[in-house]
Amino acid sequence: MKKHLYFFIFIWIHIQVSSAQAVYTNPILSGFYPDPSICRVGEDYYMVTSSFAYFPGLPVMHSKDLLSWHQLGYAMDRKEQLQLDGAGVSRGLFAPTIRYHDSLGHGGLFYITCTHVEKGGNFVITASDPKGPWSDPVYLPDVNGIDPSLFFDEDRTYLIYNSIPPDNKPLYDGHRTIRMYELDIHTLKTKGDEKLLINGGTDLSKKPVWIEAPHILKKDDWYYLYCAEGGTEFNHSEVVFRSKSVAGPYISYDKNPILTQRDLDSSRKDPITSTGHADFVNTEKGDWYAVFLGCRPYTGGHYNTGRETFMAPVKWIDGWPVINPDFKEIQYSYPAPVITGPIFTSKVNEFASNQLYHDHFDGKELNNRYTFLRTPEKKFHEVKKGKLWINLLPTTCAEKKSISMVADRQNHLEGYVTCRMEFQTQAENEKAGLIVFQNEYHYYFMCKSADRTQPVVQLFKGPGNPTSPERAMDAAQLLTSIPLRTFNNAIVFKIEVNDKGYSFYYSIKEGEWLLLRSSMAREFLSTETAGGFVGCMYGMYGTSNGKPTVNTARFDWFEHNGK
Ligand code: 6LW
């Protein structure tokens, strides 16, 4: 009798749990993960985002349910693939596209197209496994523009991209086109003549700006060309065209844009703005979703988390795809697509904004979510003996060179980042600690150093808008320098961020926090202030400020959390 009772209780619980609709939360990749592109192969979803001057480049994410994401690695993780020295932080790799194609029916290839705006322009890389290794870039010298995307149409392959206006004579600022080449998928060379698909955007007479991020999909005998329009800030949007021929002519949907937040009340709570740059994917069940970039400003147009990746449902209405048709605002959560796997599998998305991240460095390798600024000439870090060891390089964070910083994205509007560091120096030029870094001119750096051989804790602020390109520390502003009344080489740093700004604390005695400086303006690190395309990074960073050293900083743990 008891057995039957337990069985019925189990079934009841199972029904309750399976009927409790799982949801996913936005952003699905929180922190600076812009320009997302997604594809599905069977039950596996793969997504890539742009990475600019960070190395390795082009993070490759994987999911089986569009709810929880895991990073497989990077598509450009070899210095032979990706050289970034001299590139400003918002230069390097712009928007990628990831696609899969099995041209010969016996095991396909993954393709990523992208643009290195400093070196070489548009290129294709391929891999049989998205974990890599990916090939070296094959550059496409005929392709003039950005945001290249591949479309496979039975036995023919097309490359579409944002490009110059007709005859390169813009009628207005932001006048761009969408152009297309056929591509030989075996030689990865363009074929035939370039075709102009879209001039300006949905309606040239209205002077549409920045038609970009084109993708084509084919459905019900229609070719759908969908693009970003309006520029990647507040006026961003997604628009769609269609044609019976891949080469056009393409007709604009009369209800464009199919996604924008620009017309909403700017005083709404927790706004998601600047949405656009979308890519569509369908589930095995036939449901459609769009991933796209968006921003979470904390006041006005200021956001420090960069352009993040969001996802919303897509409905086909009268033969046209519409993103988020049931709401005006992009929602912070939606019902999750069909959940695969055992019903009790915990479905946590480690890249959601409200996830605690803690690292004790007790493995042999660095977690692949960390990133470096530009391509390291040689390895400057090592995970050993339960610590992250960073060799101090002479370069500093305002030079357009590789620096000894191991960074993770600031992925919350309010929260904290903290780390424990062992570091000892008597040299004033040697500094190591915790930095919140937007770009070469906009950062706050809390560090341990020396003043007349005595240990001090210091806070630096970047010089602000571009100054002459000399070494940064000369231009950086020393806000505070306090003697450390201990020769213990361990120190714990903590940076808190909230509506009052960034506050900087340190501790040299268990449980006792000392305030270094409070309420430093968040706006100083926003994209609105700093410009560019990136978001803030929390970095474990050291520099010897121009003088080579063998000194190291050892980090026992690193943690951040927030919402
Ligand atoms: C990217 C373009 C854009 O290439 O900004 O959001 C550029 N749109 O599509 C850099 O992210």
The residues carrying an active-site annotation are: 35, 212
In the DSSP assignment, the letter for residue 499 is: T
Percent residues over pLDDT 90 in the chain: 87
Task: Answer whether 555 contacts ligand 1 (Cβ < 6 A).
Answer: no
Cβ atoms of 553 and 422 within 8 Å: the answer is yes
Grade residue 466 by pLDDT with cuts at 50, 70 and 90: low
Segment 185-206, tens digit of pLDDT: 999 999 999 999 999 999 999 9
Atom of ligand 1 nearest to the CA of 95: 4
Q: What span, in angstroms and rounded, lies between the C-alpha atoms of 558 and 215?
A: 39
Q: Tell me the one-letter amino acid at 249.
A: P
Structure tokens at 206: 């209205």
How far is residue 525 from each of residues 71, 96, 109, 211, 537, measured CA to CA in Å?
27, 26, 40, 28, 10
Cis amide prior to 249 (ω within 30 degrees): yes
Segment 437-447, tens digit of pLDDT: 999 999 999 99
Residue with tokens 């352009």: 307
Segment 112-124, tens digit of pLDDT: 999 999 999 999 9
Tell me how crowded residue 207 is: count the other CB atoms within 10 A of its CB. 13
Segment 11-50, tens digit of pLDDT: 666 655 554 568 899 999 999 999 999 999 999 999 999 9
Residue with tokens 């505070």: 480
Q: Give the phi and the psi of residue 399 in degrees, each rounded to 5.
A: -90, 150
Query: What pLDDT, on the 0 to 100 scale, is given for residue 348?
Result: 84
Question: Which residue pairs, CB below 8 angstroms and at least 24 apart, start in 446-450?
Answer: 446/493, 446/495, 446/504, 446/506, 446/516, 447/541, 447/542, 448/421, 448/423, 448/484, 448/491, 449/425, 450/425, 450/426
Q: What span, in angstroms and rounded, lies between the C-alpha atoms of 413 and 522?
A: 10
**SS3 state of residue 2:** helix
Segment 387-400, tens digit of pLDDT: 999 999 999 998 99
Q: What span, in angstroms and rounded, lies between the C-alpha atoms of 336 and 413?
A: 24
Structure tokens at 510: 């268990």
Nearest CA to ligand 1 atom 9: 213
Atom of ligand 1 nearest to the CA of 236: 6
**What does the pLDDT average to over 526-549?**
97
Tell me, in angstroms, the distance from the centre of ligand 1 to residue 256's CA.
20
How far is residue 477 from each of residues 53, 373, 450, measured CA to CA in Å?
25, 22, 16
How far is residue 222 from each of residues 83, 243, 320, 503, measured CA to CA in Å?
40, 6, 10, 55
Q: Is the pLDDT of residue 105 over 70?
A: no
Cβ atoms of 312 and 293 within 8 Å: the answer is no
In testing the pocket of ligand 1, which one of 146, 274, 309 has its CB within 8 Å of the most ligand atoms?
Answer: 146
How far is residue 504 from each of residues 51, 198, 459, 521, measured CA to CA in Å?
28, 50, 8, 12
Grade residue 339 by pLDDT with cuts at 50, 70 and 90: low
Nearest CA to ligand 1 atom 6: 232
Residue 138 forms beta bridges with which residues? 124
Segment 299-335, tens digit of pLDDT: 989 999 999 999 999 999 999 999 999 999 999 999 9
Q: What span, in angstroms and rounded, lies between the C-alpha atoms of 432 and 388?
A: 13
- Residue 423: closest CA among 453, 376, 455, 395: 455
Task: Answer whether 533 contacts ligand 1 (Cβ < 6 A).
Answer: yes
Segment 412-439, tens digit of pLDDT: 999 999 999 999 999 999 999 999 999 9
Query: What pLDDT, on the 0 to 100 scale, is given for residue 474?
Result: 57
What residues have CB less than 8 Å from 351, skipping those under 6 apart?
Answer: 28, 29, 30, 31, 33, 61, 69, 71, 411
What residues have CB less than 8 Å from 530, skipping those under 6 apart?
Answer: 438, 439, 441, 442
Task: Answer whether 229 contacts ligand 1 (Cβ < 6 A).
Answer: no
What residues have CB less than 8 Å from 511, skipping those under 6 apart?
Answer: none
- Residue 144: closest CA among 173, 166, 112: 166
**What does the pLDDT average to over 84-109?**
91
Structure tokens at 217: 């999909």
Task: Answer whether 149 contacts ligand 1 (Cβ < 6 A).
Answer: no
| 354 or 552, which is more confident | 552
Query: What pLDDT, on the 0 to 100 scale, is given for residue 344?
Result: 44
Task: Answer whether 211 contacts ligand 1 (Cβ < 6 A).
Answer: no
Task: Answer whether 212 contacts ligand 1 (Cβ < 6 A).
Answer: yes
Residue with tokens 């700017």: 266
Q: What is the dihedral of CA 359, 360, 366, 368, to 10 degrees?
A: -20
Angle ∠(364,367,370) on CA atoms, nearest 5: 130
Task: Answer whether 440 contacts ligand 1 (Cβ < 6 A).
Answer: no
Cβ atoms of 396 and 404 within 8 Å: the answer is no
Task: Answer whether 50 contacts ligand 1 (Cβ < 6 A).
Answer: yes
Q: What span, in angstroms and rounded, lies between the C-alpha atoms of 505 and 207?
A: 50
Q: What span, in angstroms and rounded, lies between the C-alpha atoms of 303 and 536?
A: 9
Query: What pLDDT, on the 0 to 100 scale, is given for residue 229?
Result: 98
In the DSSP assignment, the letter for residue 164 is: P
Q: Is the pLDDT of residue 97 over 50?
A: yes
Structure tokens at 381: 């870090």
**SS3 state of residue 10:** helix
Tell me, in angstroms, the distance from the centre of ligand 1 to residue 94's CA.
6
In testing the pocket of ligand 1, which one of 147, 176, 237 has its CB within 8 Å of the most ligand atoms?
Answer: 147
Q: What span, in angstroms and rounded, lies between the C-alpha atoms of 172 and 331?
A: 35
CA dihedral over 530, 532, 536, 539, signed as positive or negative = negative
Angle ∠(426,428,429) on CA atoms, nearest 5: 120
Q: Tell me the one-letter amino acid at 503.
A: S
Q: What span, in angstroms and rounded, lies between the C-alpha atoms of 352 and 563?
A: 9
Atom of ligand 1 nearest to the CA of 147: 4
**What does the pLDDT average to over 75-94?**
97
Segment 370-382, tens digit of pLDDT: 999 999 999 999 9
Residue with tokens 């960070």: 54
Average pLDDT for the chain: 94
